[in-house]
């Protein structure tokens, strides 16, 4: 096959997601293989993966355990319907997953992506209240800067304007908490910032405006990733939990990014000591190898559905590929690696070194904030006059040219490497990034 980067017409048919298609196709960046901490580009350069793909390859790339499990599963049972039928490893996976979940969260509904997990969680919340005779609870509260995928539910509760503005009025009846990025108070914080827990009290104002009897659920990422790593202040999440309890609103944590070890426990809920009613996941669940998502639900919620006639379907929802056998095999093999290599605690072991290495960039010109938790960090750069995003994009492309993959949101550089990272990789990551930032005047 010809090298597509040398053949522009070869690239015409593919409309790429979240990409400046015309610009990309003039100067493509192509990855042709991956192993462990590194991608190989189409021109045979080693690219250190500073982002675990898109926050998903937590155990590193092309793990042979996953490859073998997937190959064997396709050979044994390539597909089986999950509506009114089952296959054994979906049950096995659900049991294994709940053994890692916070206490009281012990039911799992399978999806194929983070967006589907979010839609599923919102629908569970609506139906839950309706079954309990509180059908007036139809509103959702999300948060500014929130990213909950790209389904209509997810963009309605999400808070990133570019993801919302083209798509009409969205779901009716959503409201948004203020975001928690307070650089004025918390610049260069390490771990959870000290200031801003009071922002959670704004939920009281939203309740006062709409009345609790109209609100089904509050959905937030415990740590916002896609917006450029926005952390909750100490105590913020607990206040949300308390207010939700006070008014009978469900609390949903979107852990699509934070799930499966990113912040030093299997879930951020455990790391931050706040248990929601529903947790949405995807990405690290199957190490990014096969698309898969899962919604974790408290027993109380699931049992609410199990009250009608036993021959009735309790929840009219599901996907052709819910609990796909190949995805289940990939997820089981991923869990096997996470457990055996204790990857969920890796962010605790290396967190301090990662944090110190990130904050060593503080003195560089144009760095206006550095934020981090576990194996996540953001280097927030000043925008060029009248050209927001230009410096960030330049850092991204220059890092790639020098063999490092970072993620940019505007002028924020986000880092979330695979959890198998070692100190030498951390040195390479921040060494390259520091040189590049210094050149992007
Ligand atoms: C918190 C969060 N929720 C949902 C999603 C959507 O996941 P997907 O792209 O798999 O639909 C993402 C993706 O980055 C995410 O970060």
Supply the CATH number for residue 399's domain: 3.90.1150.10
Render pLDDT for 79-115 as a digit per residue (tens, 0 to 9): 999 999 999 999 999 999 999 999 999 999 999 999 9
Domain that holds residue 166: 67-340
Measured in Å, residue 208 CA sits from the centre of ligand 1 at: 30
Domain identity same for 53 and 71: no
Domain boundary (340, 373, 392) is at: 340
Q: Which residue carries 């089952």 as its tokens? A: 86
282 lines ligand 1 (CB under 6 A): yes
Measured in Å, residue 54 CA sits from the centre of ligand 1 at: 9
Q: Strand locations in 303-435, DSSP E?
A: 367-373, 376-381, 404-405, 407-409, 412-415
Measured in Å, residue 9 CA sits from the centre of ligand 1 at: 31
Best probe residue, ligand 1, of 219, 220, 257 (max atoms within 8 Å of C-beta): 257
Domain identity same for 431 and 387: yes
Q: Which parts of the chain have pLDDT scores under 70?
A: 1-8
Domain identity same for 217 and 283: yes
Write out the two tokens for 41: 């580009």
pLDDT attached to residue 441: 87
Burial class (CB in 10 A: 0-12, 13-18, 19+), 167: exposed
User: What residues contact residue 188 under an 8 Å CB cut-off, 6+ apart?
Assistant: 359, 362, 369, 370
Domain identity same for 256 and 125: yes
Q: Tell me which residue has its CA closest to atom 8 in ligand 1.
A: 114
- Distance from C-alpha of 441 to C-alpha of 439, rounded to nearest angstrom: 6
Render pLDDT for 387-433 as a digit per residue (tens, 0 to 9): 999 999 999 999 999 999 999 999 999 999 999 999 999 999 999 99
Measured in Å, residue 120 CA sits from the centre of ligand 1 at: 13
Q: State the closest ligand 1 atom to the C-alpha of 115, by its place in the atom list counted from 1.
A: 11
Write out the two tokens for 432: 């390259």
Alpha carbon dihedral 186, 188, 194, 196, in 10-degree steps, equals 30
| DSSP per-residue letters across 196-262 | -GGGGGHHHHHHHHH-GGGEEEEEE-SSB-TTT-BPPPTTHHHHHHHHHHHHT-EEEEE-TTTTTTT
pLDDT attached to residue 7: 58
Best probe residue, ligand 1, of 52, 115, 220 (max atoms within 8 Å of C-beta): 115
Domain identity same for 44 and 136: no
- Distance from C-alpha of 380 to C-alpha of 410, rounded to nearest angstrom: 9
Other C-beta atoms lying within 10 Å of the C-beta of residue 365: 10
Supply the CATH number for residue 209's domain: 3.40.640.10
pLDDT attached to residue 65: 98
* 8 A C-beta contact, residue 122 and residue 295: no
| DSSP per-residue letters across 42-57 | TTS-EEEESSHHHHT-
Domain identity same for 328 and 419: no
- Distance from C-alpha of 413 to C-alpha of 438, rounded to nearest angstrom: 14
Residues 239-257 as b/e (b if ≥16 CB within 10 A, e otherwise) read bbbebbeebebbbbbbbbb
Number of domains forming the structure of the chain: 2
> Within a 13 Å sphere around the CA of 17, how many CA atoms are in the beta-carbon half?
4
254 lines ligand 1 (CB under 6 A): yes
pLDDT attached to residue 2: 42
196 lines ligand 1 (CB under 6 A): no
């Amino acid at each position: 096959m010809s090298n597509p980067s040398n053949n522009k017409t070869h690239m015409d048919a593919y409309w790429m997601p979240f990409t400046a298609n015309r610009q990309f196709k003039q100067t493509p960046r192509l990855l042709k293989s991956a192993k462990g901490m590194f991608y190989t580009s189409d021109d045979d350069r080693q690219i250190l993966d500073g982002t675990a793909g898109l926050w998903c390859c937590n155990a590193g790339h092309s793990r042979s355990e996953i490859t073998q499990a997937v190959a064997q599963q396709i050979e044994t049972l390539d597909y089986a319907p999950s509506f009114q039928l089952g296959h054994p490893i979906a049950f096995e996976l659900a049991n294994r997953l709940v053994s890692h979940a916070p206490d009281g969260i012990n039911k799992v509904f399978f999806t194929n992506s983070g967006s589907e997990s979010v839609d599923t969680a919102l629908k569970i919340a609506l139906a839950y209240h309706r079954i309990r005779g509180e059908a007036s609870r139809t509103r959702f509260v999300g948060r500014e800067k929130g990213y909950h995928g790209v389904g209509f539910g997810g963009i309605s509760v999400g808070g990133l304007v570019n993801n919302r503005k083209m798509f009409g009025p969205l779901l009716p009846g959503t409201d948004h908490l203020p975001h928690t990025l307070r650089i004025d108070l918390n610049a260069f914080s390490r771990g959870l910032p000290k200031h801003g827990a009071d922002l959670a009290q704004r939920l009281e104002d939203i309740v006062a405006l709409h009345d609790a009897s109209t609100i089904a659920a509050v959905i937030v990422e415990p740590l916002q990733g896609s917006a450029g790593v926005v952390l909750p202040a100490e105590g913020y999440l607990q206040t949300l939990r308390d207010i939700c309890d006070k008014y009978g609103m469900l609390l949903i944590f979107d852990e699509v990014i934070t799930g499966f070890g990113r912040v030093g426990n299997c879930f951020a809920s455990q790391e931050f000591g706040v248990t929601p009613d529903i947790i949405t996941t995807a990405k690290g669940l199957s190490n990014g190898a096969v698309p898969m998502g899962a919604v974790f639900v408290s027993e109380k919620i699931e049992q609410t559905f199990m009250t009608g006639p036993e021959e009735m379907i309790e929840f009219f929802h599901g996907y052709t590929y819910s609990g796909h056998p190949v995805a289940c095999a990939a997820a089981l093999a991923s869990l096997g690696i996470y457990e055996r290599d204790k990857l969920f605690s890796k962010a605790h072991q290396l967190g301090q070194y990662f944090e110190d290495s990130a904050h060593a960039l503080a003195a560089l010109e144009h760095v206006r904030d550095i934020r981090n938790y576990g194996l996540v960090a953001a280097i927030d750069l000043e925008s060029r006059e009248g050209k927001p995003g230009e410096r960030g994009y330049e850092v991204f492309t220059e890092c790639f040219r020098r063999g490092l993959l970072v993620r940019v949101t505007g002028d924020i550089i986000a880092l979330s490497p695979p959890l198998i990272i070692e100190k030498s990789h951390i040195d390479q990551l921040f060494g390259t990034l520091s040189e590049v930032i210094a050149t992007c005047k």
